[in-house]
Amino acid sequence: MGRRIDPATIAGWCLAAALVLFLVGPILTVIIYAFAEQWRYPNLLPTRWGFRFWNVMLGRADVAEAISISLAIAFTATTLSALICWPAAYAFARLRFPGRQPLLMAFLAAQAFPKFALFIAIAVVFLRFDLVGTFWGVVLVQLVNTLLFMIWIPTAAFRAIPPALEEAALDLGASRLRVFIEVTLPQAAPALAASYILAFVGTLFEVDASLLIGAPTIRPMPILMLSLSAQVVVQHAAVLCVILWVPAFALLLLSRRLMSARTIASGLGA
C-alpha cells in the first residue's frame, strides 16, 4: 500500500525549510564564527576551530566594564519601573476612578511615535539638564521603553484574577492588605515576573536611546557591539553576540512560558 503524500504537507515542510534558512541561518553563522579560529572562503565550515577568541574577549577590560554598566542600567531602570508601574497596574485593574480607561490608553499612545525621533526630542531636552552622558540620563530614557510592558501586562494579569476570590477572603475577615499579599499577589506573580524579564532584556539590548543619551561616556554592551561589528576581525563581535544572546534567549523563553501569546499581543493593543 503506497503512502499518499499530501501536497499541503509538502508545502508546509518547504515553508519550514525556507524559514530555517532565512531566520535561523544568520544566527547559526554567528555561532559558528564564534568558535572559528580561521574560516577561509569558500569553505562551508571553519578551516580551524577553537576558543582563542573567547579567551581574548573574556579577558578584555572594556567587555567586562560594558557588561557591568549594562546590568546596572537594566536593573535600575526595570526595578524603578516596577516600583511605579505595578501599583498603577493594580489601580487600573481593580479600583474605580473617573478617566481610568483613557489614562490606561495613554500608555499605548507612546507607541504612536516613531521611536528614534522621540529619542532625539528627549536628547535635546536632556542636553539642557546635563543628563546626556550620565548613568541616570540613560536610566530615565530606558524607563520610557519599559512603561508599556510594565503597565499593560500586569493590568491584564490583575484583571484576570476572579474578584470572587478576593471577596471571599475579605468576608472571612482578612484585611485588604493581607488579601492582596496572600491572594492577589501569588496569582499575578507569573505575569509580573514575565513583564519584569521582558523589560529587563529589552533594556539590556536597547541601542538607539543608549547611543543618543549615553554617548560618549556611558558605553553599555550593545554600543560596544555596534563598534565591534564594524571591525575587520569578525570573531570579536561574534563571540560577544553569543555571550549576550544565549542568556537573553533563555530569559525570553522563560518569560514566554509565564504568559500566553495573547497577553503579548494585548500588550500592544492588538
Chain positions 134 to 193 lying near another protein, rule: CB under 8 A, are 140-141, 143-144, 147, 150-151
Q: How far is the CB of 236 from another protein (least distance, A)?
A: 11
Q: In this chain, which stretch among 52-60, 161-169, 184-192, 211-219 interacts with another protein, using CB under 8 A?
A: 211-219
User: By the 8 A CB rule, do 132 and 123 touch?
Assistant: yes
Q: In this chain, which stretch among 50-58, 70-78, 106-114, 186-194 interacts with another protein, using CB under 8 A?
A: 106-114
Q: How far apart are CA 171 and CA 175, in angstroms?
A: 10
User: By the 8 A CB rule, do 212 and 204 touch?
Assistant: no
User: By the 8 A CB rule, do 126 and 137 touch?
Assistant: yes
Closer to another protein at the Cβ: 191 or 222?
222
Asked if 96 interacts with another protein (CB under 8 A), we say yes
Q: In this chain, which stretch among 70-78, 104-112, 161-169, 183-191 interacts with another protein, using CB under 8 A?
A: 104-112
Binds another protein by CB under 8 A, chosen from 98, 130, 162, 172 = 98
Nearest CA-CA partner of 255 in 34, 78, 113: 78
Chain positions 213 to 252 lying near another protein, rule: CB under 8 A, are 215, 222, 225-226, 229, 234, 237-238, 241, 244-245, 248-249, 252
Q: Cell numbers 560618549 correspond to what residue? A: 216
> Phi-psi bin for 215: left (phi > 0), alpha (psi -120 to 50), beta?
beta
Q: How far is the CB of 208 from another protein (least distance, A)?
A: 4
Q: How far is the CB of 128 from another protein (least distance, A)?
A: 9
Q: Is the previous residue joined to 42 through a cis bond, with omega within 30 degrees of 0?
A: yes
CB atoms inside a 10 Å sphere around CB 241: 18
Closer to another protein at the Cβ: 82 or 191?
82
User: By the 8 A CB rule, do 158 and 188 touch?
Assistant: yes
- Give the binding-site size for another protein (rule: CB under 8 A): 94
User: By the 8 A CB rule, do 143 and 211 touch?
Assistant: no
Chain positions 50 to 69 lying near another protein, rule: CB under 8 A, are none
For residue 115, give the amino acid letter.
K
Site string for another protein, 28-47 (x = CB under 8 A): xxx-xx-------xxxx---
For the record, the C-alpha cell of 87 comes out as 501599583
Q: How far is the CB of 29 from another protein (least distance, A)?
A: 4
Q: How far apart are CA 11 and CA 4, in angstroms?
A: 14
Q: How far is the CB of 65 from another protein (least distance, A)?
A: 18
User: By the 8 A CB rule, do 33 and 235 touch?
Assistant: yes
Q: How far is the CB of 235 from another protein (least distance, A)?
A: 10
